């Protein structure tokens, strides 16, 4: 028996290229970078992706002061997703809404800031340590802040899945809907990574932090001159529903989730394993009952690190071969790496392809690394897919060898199918 069909009916996001899907999509099609110079404690200005959303749209200043940046991002995205889905909380049982958010890390921003303040201004006197520290730093905080803000009483938690977390949050939402644990799932990922010195310092110590005189060109996956990650922030939350429920309320159906897989390399803390990445892709295709030839667009994880990009390309080539009809792109070239939010944000940037049949480009790709050759790679200019885009595969991989793959299809059944109007 086939599992219950689950669909996306709402999208809420903030990223370095905008605070709604149409704005984000237009910037991608225009080839616009969202990377800027950003001051980092003890490191000076670094290339980074900064999200500029209206913080007071859904929170007052006291709530912002008590809460966290990641929580504020989550609150903004959740409200926007519910509005986009046409859902009014007055009409929904709050105990039947689940919140499942992917994160890479949480609490280090607040802890790092508070420690620096304690040392720099208060002579290490702990009586000045904020009493808000504990709720700010617990792992479930970003999801919990959403439930407090919206008055939701259903399940909430975060999924710590490194840079695969955005996909993992969506997968968790699908599973909980199929289990009957909720009727609507707010699922995706959030990140406040640019606020932590330690993240920049860690990547720099690994030789994996991007450096370029022009920040807009710092993130350059697959290019021979790539030299590391551009750290970014942002979030994307989806409203997920069972298909029958979405149809019952005549919802706009953005896409249907066909299949997924999460697996582990089991080999190294940092270095990716292309064999396990390939296995994850193949298992997701099997789960979705699809042949590789049926995939129209592959959204790559590639972070602009020399070895990581090469290993993913090996995995993708092994699955899709020399099939140039499967288009391949990368969103990090525009906005950098938003860590736990990456998979969810990058998926959003590609969802309008179901409507317009166009794959956005991979930018900053001036000299293709021969080891990163992919027949269908879309380079520097958007490309229209002959026959349209009906199936999207979304890669998202993380440290400690966690791999995640999502497969989605254009919904062609009953209900309204329009998702995007430029």
Q: Catalytic one among 301, 313, 360, 372?
A: 301
Whole-angstrom Cα distance, residue 58 to residue 81?
13
Residue 169 DSSP SS3: helix
CA dist 55 and 52 (Å) reads: 8
Give dist(CA 134, CA 350) in Å, integer: 37
Task: Specify the 3-state DSSP secondary structure of 120.
Answer: helix
Q: Is 131 among the catalytic positions?
A: no
DSSP 371-385: GG--TTB-BSS-EEP
Total count of residues recorded for the chain: 422
| Residue among 79, 106, 156, 337 flagged as catalytic | 337
Cβ–Cβ under 8 Å, residues 69 and 49: no
In DSSP notation, 295-361 reads --EEE----S-HHHHHHHHHHHHHHHTT-TTSEEE-SHHHH-B-GGGHHHHHHHHHTTHHHH-EEPP
337 as an active site residue: the answer is: yes
Q: Do the beta carbons of residue 327 and residue 361 sit within 8 Å?
A: no
Sequence-ordered list of residues with C-beta below 8 angstroms from that of 271, at least 6 positions apart, any chain: 307, 311
Cβ pair 326, 291 in contact under 8 A: no
* Strand 35-40 to 402-409 pairing: unpaired
Q: Tokens at residue 413, please?
A: 């059944």
First-to-last C-alpha distance (Å) of the chain: 40
Q: Of residues 15, 163, 182, 280, which has the active-site annotation?
A: 163
CB 238 within 8 A of CB 100: no
Q: For this structure, is 121 an active site residue? A: no
Structure tokens at 246: 């979405």
HSE, CB side, 13 Å, CA atoms: give it for residue 145.
Answer: 30
| Close Cβ partners of 91 (under 8 Å, ≥ 6 residues apart) | none
Closest alpha carbon to 338 in 31, 73, 84: 73
Strand, helix or coil at 239? Answer: strand
Active site residues per annotation: 163, 301, 337
């Amino acid at each position: 028996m086939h599992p219950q069909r689950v669909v996306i009916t709402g999208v809420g996001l903030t990223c370095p290229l905008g605070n709604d899907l149409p704005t984000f999509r237009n910037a991608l099609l225009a080839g616009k970078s969202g990377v800027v110079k950003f001051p980092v404690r003890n490191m000076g200005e670094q290339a980074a992706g900064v999200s500029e959303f209206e913080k007071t749209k859904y929170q007052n200043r006291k709530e912002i002061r008590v809460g966290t940046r990641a929580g504020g991002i989550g609150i903004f995205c959740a409200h926007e997703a519910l509005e986009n889905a046409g859902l009014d909380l007055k009409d929904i049982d709050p105990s039947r809404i689940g919140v499942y958010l992917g994160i890479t890390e949480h609490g280090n921003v607040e802890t790092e800031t508070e420690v620096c303040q304690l040392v720099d201004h208060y002579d290490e006197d702990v009586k000045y340590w904020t009493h808000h520290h504990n709720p700010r730093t617990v792992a479930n905080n970003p999801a919990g802040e959403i439930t407090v803000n919206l008055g939701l009483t259903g399940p909430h938690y975060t999924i710590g899945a490194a840079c695969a977390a955005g996909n993992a949050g969506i997968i968790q939402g699908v599973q909980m809907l199929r289990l009957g644990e909720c009727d609507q799932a707010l699922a995706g990922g959030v990140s406040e990574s640019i606020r932590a010195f330690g993240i920049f310092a860690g990547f720099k110590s690994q030789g994996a932090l991007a450096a370029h005189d022009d920040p807009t060109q710092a993130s350059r996956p697959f290019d021979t001159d790539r030299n590391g990650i551009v750290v970014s922030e942002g979030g994307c939350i989806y409203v997920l529903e069972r298909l029958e429920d979405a149809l019952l309320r005549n919802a706009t159906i953005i896409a249907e989730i066909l299949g997924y897989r999460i697996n582990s390399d089991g080999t190294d803390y940092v270095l990716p394993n292309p064999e396990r990445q390939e296995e994850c892709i193949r298992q997701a295709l099997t789960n979705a009952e699809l042949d590789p030839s049926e995939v129209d667009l592959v959204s790559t994880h590639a972070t602009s690190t020399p070895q990581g990009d090469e290993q993913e390309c090996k995995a993708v080539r092994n699955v899709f071969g020399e099939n140039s009809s499967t288009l391949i792109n990368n969103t990090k070239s525009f906005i950098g790496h938003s860590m736990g939010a990456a998979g969810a944000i990058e998926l959003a940037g590609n969802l309008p392809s179901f409507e317009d049949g166009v794959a956005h480009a991979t930018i900053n790709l001036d000299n293709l690394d021969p080891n990163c050759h992919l027949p269908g790679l879309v380079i520097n200019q958007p490309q229209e897919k002959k026959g349209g885009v009906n199936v999207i595969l979304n890669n998202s991989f993380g440290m400690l060898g966690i791999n995640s793959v999502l497969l989605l299809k254009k919904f062609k059944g009953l209900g309204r199918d329009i998702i995007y109007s430029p």
